[in-house]
Amino acid sequence: MDIEKELVKAAYEAQQYSYSPYSGFEVGVALLGKNGKIYRGCNIENAAYSPSNCAERTAFFKAVSEGCREFEAIAIVGNKKGERGDFCPPCGVCRQVMAEFCDPESFRVILGRSEEEYHSYFLKDLLPLGFGRALL
């Protein structure tokens, strides 16, 4: 099995843990560290909305809190509960978190519509002119 397909499958597994009682939109991700470990994340909503956390940031923060700070790829899936989803790109905040830890030239963002249908992009394509430490 190729790594992209494996990550999309793991993202669907992570999606099962989504806590999304308000939007009903369930997101799961699988983040591949350069250490070979896969960090899963799901979206976690809150009634006050702003304390909610996206699946992508959940996975990144979990990985960083466990000592991993170098990453190769992330697979993202999302859909309303019980419906077939479309491709689910990361929000701007999550793209910025990716830019903090990932090389935009080589980090792959895989958007899955199913375990068989997905597209792969480089972070630089999803975050052109991103803000990073080189600008500080």
b/e for 21-41, b at 16 or more Cβ within 10 A? eeeebbbbbbbbbeeeebbbb
133's enclosing H/E stretch is none
Backbone angles phi, psi at 119, to 5 degrees: -125, 145
Active site residue 26: no
Catalytic residue selected from 45, 56, 105, 116: 56
Return left, alpha or beta for 49; rule: phi > 0 is left, psi -120 to 50 is alpha, else beta: left
Looking at the annotation, which residues are catalytic?
56
